[in-house]
Structure 1
Amino acid sequence: MEVVTKIEFAALEPKLSPETLRVLEQQLGFLRATPVQVATIPLLCSFKDVAVDAATGSGKTLAFVVPVVEILRRLATPFLQENVQVGAMIISPTRELASQIFGVAQKFVKTLENLTALLLVGGTDVTADLERVKEQGGNVLIGTPGRLHDIMERSTALEFRHLEARTSDLSSLDTITSLFIVSFQILILDEADRLLDMGFQRQVSAIIELLPKQRRTGLFSATQTQAVEELSKAGLRNPVRVEVRSEVKGASTTFKTPAGLNIEYLECEGEEKSSQLVNFLRENASRKTIVYFMTCASVDYWGTVLPRLKTLKDVPIVVLHGKMKQSVRVKALEKFTAMPAGVLFCTDVAARGLDIPGVDWIVQYDPPQDPNVFVHRVGRTARMGRAGDALVFLLPKEDAYAEFLRIRNVPIEKRDKTEVPHIIPKLRAAAMKDRDVMEKGLKAFVSYFRAYKEHHCTFIFQWKQLELGKIAMSFGLLQLPSMPELKRGVLTSQHFTPVENIDVDSIPYREKAREKQRRKNLEKKPDTSREERKALAPSKHQKDRPAKRAKKRSHRDREELEEINSDYRLLKKLKKGSISEKAYSKLMSLEGDV
């Protein structure tokens, strides 16, 4: 399959407007369409519901933005003359992706006279968005499900003067909602599987309930899950299913990853990981690289300590994760996007849909908890027919993950490990000079372990087999934190060598103002009483929160996890010789592709 077909946008039926074709060619530089665009644009423009399953980086954004604009362009003139009348809505799982879609859509919306597009995402004051809706209106709403649902529920968002003349009953939410969606035409759910994974099912379902049934709906995703199927049944009417995959010339397998993507895995011991990462970043200093970690704390730590190493002094590093303020996240993404070369340290907040130009390498320092996210991460490179490379770090006891990916149609090969300079002494030296580094290192190590325990592939990522001592060394810890798993003997501290003759309480913050405040606090409270410690300890309700979240997610993902574990059990039988390759292939085909 070619990433870009020989079919020009101008040849699609129904015909696209001259204004849309000009934007595609002159502003975006696209003359020919990708397979997903060829398949989807005509269907949506012909008022068909679609459920699209296409490999990441295949051009899905234009596949729904173009039909949205074309449908609104065809509306009768009176329909959308007033900004309060919403004609289309695009729902995205993350703020970054919603912002990116908004940027693309704006180029087309500007060709529509008197029509406006509005970006509505979380991270900002909702009252400010309500004011924007009141002042500007919005014929095309693009945003995250929580904020969109919030705006739709608040009647004040629709208290427009010209609406008051039409009805005397504005006290009823139903009345206001009906006015709000009187001309609604099309709903787009982008990254539908991620919307559900992130817990937005309630908001998405509520939005769908508020919208008129006589509409077009497009559901787009790179992976189809049982939950997505259920959403499709609830929100789409007799949808046309579009499935586009990448194929390697001469091969019989259809892959879930872009054709120009080369994926490798590097197997190394726990204490070697950070040294291998630093060496990789140094060798690829002239490239543009995204490095994924499992937790926000890990991003904070590595983003703080690695720039202090002389080895990486000329390598610009940007950090991005979900706990950062929205304004900071936007600036970080803009900064990395503008870089000709550099590194982005991030969590899965940047794993879906984002189209960052010129990314050469995707490095997964931590394999994702959800195996479906692997495809989305590597899809940030090799986009739209370009070449790209990806690397994932695996511990020796995690090597079965490579086979697991292969049976899920993700091609991956082993990368040879080379001897590299050890950086653990340098990490420890940085921790001894700055309390901030020491504290962030401890927090990152603990958060990594907690996240590891929640891996979906429990047959491969078995937390009880983790060699915590080696991993703690890789984090550059000075001492091991007090952990229940170590106290009870479930795990051991073998291979960890603590730094001797050091008083960690005396390590100062490098930032003078912060250190001054710390010393001031110590003078006020030289020791914490038993009562104070009890008061500061998390309540039973707080302690139960992680367990409740895990239980909720476990219930939601049970079917998918059972399927994953079933695949792995079959793989083990094949490797042991219990079943033949023919029987294995037959069983896998019966169970279906995930």
Structure 2
Amino acid sequence: MESSANTNKALTDKRFSDLEPPLSDVIIEALEQSDFKFCTPVQAATIPLLCTFKDVAVDAATGSGKTLAFLVPLVELLRRLSSPKPHQVLGVIISPTRELSTQIYNVAQPFVSTLPNVNSVLLVGGREVQADVKIIEEEGGNVLIGTPGRLSDIMERMDILDFRNLEILILDEADRLLEMGFQKQVNYIISRLPKQRRTGLFSATQTEGVQELAKAGLRNPVRVAVQAQSKSESSQELTNSKIPSGLHLEYLECEADKKSSQLVDLLIENADKKLIVYFMTCASVDYWGLVLSKIPALESITLIPIHGDMKQNARDKALASFTEVSSGVLLCTDVAARGLDIPGIDYVVQYDPPQDPNMFNHRVGRTARLGKQGRAIVFLLPKEDAYVEFMRLRGVSCQERKCSEKASDVIPIIRSLAIKDRAVLEKGLKAFVSFVRAYKEHHCSYIFRWKGLEIGKLAMGYGLLYLPSMSEVKQHRLSSEGFIPVEGIKFDDIKFKDKSRERQRRQNVQARKAKREEEKREKGKRSSKRAATDACGTSDSSKAASRKLTGKQRQTIQTAEDEEELAEDYRYWKKLKKGSIQEDEFAKRMGADDF
């Protein structure tokens, strides 16, 4: 027998079937088939407003059910229209990332399918724009769901699309749209749409840019502000929060050379759960995805990496795989921090605190969604402890978790992997350098002071065999204390396990060696030519001049050339210090190996 009351504290007692104006029977049926009976606060407040032709500006916590809050009224508004022509656009939904757009598209399908002769199209990057053009030409597009770049591109290319009868525009994650630099594309899209329309602007944070966007795109909007309610452990009072009510937040303070061992211990402890681990850079995701998969204690755990530098097909497959597994770990950057609704996330681990503190709530909001319980933890270095108080002042309180004393030291394992496979060595160096440079760009630079970064301990935590020759280290003298270099190994001789990569590396080494030798020969020829020219311009004592040319003059010429080469090397070194060239470019100039 169906319960008549709602027991989920994240939901209201308002049923979708009780909303006014009433929803269509087919929509109620589609909602119930997806196990949606009771509304969340944002749904209860927003759906009636959009259905009665009001513009809305919605400020709601992550995981509050915003997607259904705009999809349900969108479908209801379109149901009232007569059957549209194939290329007549009635609704547009804009979101900042491909993953979020894809998620919205998939959630929308059961509801859009209830509309006769209405076709929705997903428009995101990662594939040829001509493929999207062909789909729209052949099948039409009444509801366009996608990212600003691809949507604006399609609108510029296709005169066949008719926006004159557009009914509704939705801007999802509006603050992120602006943060990611889509202001120009969003403005272009809005300029192409009729002013007589409904507009919904949904955002987790109300920034100045979002308010300006609301003024430009909405007419007398109704403001809907919904925050999660959480109960303080030291008090029975309810307090407003922008994190889910069922979320237990912790922080772990440990030295940089202990972080990786603590992470592995935490993953082992939660081997039967579903976790997301956030890193600051794409290179870090690549490295830890490779290393963690080779640690024996983690062999039984499914590890799935995803970041913004991956091809779209790979990102889609990674998310699909992680969604399907009952337990496993998603290793990612902030590309998976906002809007994504992956079911069953038990634990969110922030191995690196986000550059932008606003992303903290979005990250932890992947768990404890819609009233469920979840845990989250952020790793901090001892010098970063002020971050706890900083977040508390922003309404996010974390409890301390002590370092695990039973955590095994994984550094020897990682170093052994690097010695056996050059891929681990190179990815580790790249991840380390990318992290240091990303750390320099931290928005909270007064807490995350990169000049106080203990580079030696950090390198040990990454399991590096040696400290890379970084301009940041030389110029600012970051502390290398705590780093123990590996002795007795010639790093140039470390090979790729992948035989084809090793063969290519050897070919590259030989090619560079041959090029250097050729350059030396060319310099020698130029020197001889200049010397011969000088000899021809001398007086009758040509033999004496020739003898001088082979002695002091030749030495002078060679010295000048050496000084010129040193000056060029110095110019490259200065470029490296300024960050205008990368380490690998400098290494090639110096004739070093390719890592």
Who is 2:64 aligned against? 58
What residue number does 1:124 align with? 127
Q: In the aligned structure 2, how far is the partner of 1:206 from the partner of 1:537?
A: 43
Shift of 1:456: 0.5
Q: CA deviation at 1:522?
A: 2.1
Give the superposition deviation at 1:527.
6.1
Alignment match, 1:19? 26
Residues in 2 aligned to 1:86 and 1:258: alpha-carbon distance in whole angstroms: 36
- Are 1:216 and 2:219 counterparts? no
Confirm or deny that 1:468 pairs with 2:471. Answer: no
Identity across matched positions, percent:
60
Instruction: Give deviations 1:191-231, integer Å, cap 9, x for gaps.
Output: 11111111111111111111111111111111111111111
Q: Map of 1:136-535 to 2, 5 A cutoff? A: 136-154=139-157, 157-159=158-160, 180-249=162-231, 250-419=236-405, 420-526=407-513, 529=516
Classify 1:545/1:227 alpha carbon distance in 2 versus 1 (closer, same or farther; 3 Å).
farther
Distance 1:143 1:435 in 2: 40
Report deviation, 1:497. Answer: 1.1
- The answer on whether the counterparts of 2:148 and 2:185 sit within 8 Å (CA) in structure 1 is yes
Q: Which residue pairs with 2:532 in the alignment?
A: none
Distance 2:246 2:207 in 1: 25
**What's the counterpart of residue 49 of structure 2?**
43
Whether 1:70 aligns to 2:73 is no
CA contact (8 A) 1:134 1:158 kept: no
Partner of 1:115: 118
1:391 alignment partner, SS class: strand
Given that 1:255 and 1:411 are in contact with CA atoms closer than 8 Å, whether structure 2 keeps it comes out as: no
Assess, with a 3 A threshold, how the Cα gap between structure 1 residues 527 and 437 changes in structure 2: closer, same or farther: farther
Contact 2:175/2:206 (8 A) holds in 1: yes
Cα separation, partners in 2 of 1:429 and 1:540, compared to 1, 3 Å? closer
Query: Partners of 2:40 and 2:335 in 1: how far apart?
Result: 26
Q: Deviations over 1:361-386 (max 9, x none)?
A: 00000000010100000000001110
Output the CA distance in 1 between the equivalents of 2:467 and 2:473: 10
Alpha-carbon distance, 1:540 to partner:
8.1
Compute the displacement of 1:421 (Å): 1.0
Task: Encode CA deviations 1:507-546: one digit per residue, 9 max, x unaligned.
Answer: 10011111122122223332664989989979989x8889
The answer to whether the Cα contact below 8 Å between 1:263 and 1:412 also exists between their aligned partners in 2 is: yes
CA-to-partner distance for each residue in 1:318-366, whole Å, 9 max, x for gaps? 0000110000100000000000000000000000110101000000000
Give the match for residue 10 of structure 1: 17
- Deviations along 1:55-105, one digit per CA (max 9) or x if unpaired, are 111100000000110010011x1xx42110000000011101100000011
For 1:555, the equivalent position in structure 2 comes to none
- The aligned residue for residue 592 of structure 1 is none
1:546-565 maps to which residues of 2 (within 5 A)?
Answer: none
* 8 Å contact from structure 2 (residues 279, 333) kept in 1: yes
Task: Say whether the 8 Å CA contact 1:361–1:388 is kept in structure 2.
Answer: yes
Deviation of 1:51 after TM superposition, in Å, equals 0.7
> Counterpart of 1:591?
none
TM-score (norm 1): 0.85
Q: SS in structure 2 opposite 1:44?
A: helix
- Contact preservation (8 Å) 2:49, 2:55: yes
Deviations 1:203-260 (A, max 9, x none): 1111111111111111111111111111111111111111111122432421110000
- For 2:258, what is the secondary structure of its paired residue? helix
Q: Deviations over 1:130-169 (max 9, x none)?
A: 1111111110000000000000011xx344xxxxxxxxxx
For structure 2, the residue ranges without an aligned partner over 5 or more in a row are 1-7, 521-564, 582-595
Provide the C-alpha distance between the structure 2 equivalents of 1:183 and 1:462, rounded to a whole number of angstroms: 53
Q: For the Cα contact (< 8 Å) 1:84–1:158, is it kept in 2?
A: no
CA RMSD of aligned residues (A): 2.2
* 1:411 to partner: Cα distance: 2.3
**Partners in 2 of 1:114 and 1:402 — Cα distance?**
54
Which has more radius of gyration? 2
CA distance in 1, matches of 2:414, 2:357: 31
**Which of 75, 90, 95 is residue 93 of structure 2 equivalent to?**
90
Counterpart residue identity of residue 17, structure 1: S
Shift of residue 492, structure 1, vs aligned partner: 2.6
Distance 1:522 1:462 in 2: 39
2:283–2:430 CA contact under 8 A, matched in 1: yes
The one-letter code sitting in structure 2 at the alignment partner of 1:242 is: V
Pairwise CA distance, 1:486: 1.5
Q: Given the superposition, is the C-alpha separation of residues 496 and 338 from structure 1 closer, same or farther in structure 2, using an over 3 Å criterion?
A: same
Determine if contact 2:453/2:479 at 8 Å carries over to the other structure. Answer: no
| Alpha-carbon distance between aligned partners in 2 of 1:502 and 1:539, rounded to the nearest angstrom | 30
Q: Deviations 1:155-190 (Å, cap 9, x if unpaired)?
A: xx344xxxxxxxxxxxxxxxxxxx620210111011
Cα distance in 2, alignment partners of residues 248 and 310 from structure 1: 40
The 8 Å contact of residues 246 and 374 in structure 2, kept in 1 or not, is answered as: yes
Deviation, 1:439, is: 0.3
How many corresponding residue pairs?
521
1:385-406 deviations in Å (ceiling 9; x for gaps): 1000001000001111111111
Question: What is the alpha-carbon distance in structure 1 between the residues aligned to residue 50 and residue 356 of structure 2?
Answer: 31
Amino acid in the other structure paired with 2:205: T
Q: How big is the shift at 1:49?
A: 0.8
Distance in 2 of aligned mates of 1:101 and 1:188: 11
2:87 maps to 1:101: no
**Deviation of 1:488 (Å):** 2.0
Tell me how far apart the structure 2 counterparts of residues 126 and 84 of structure 1 sit (CA, whole Å).
17
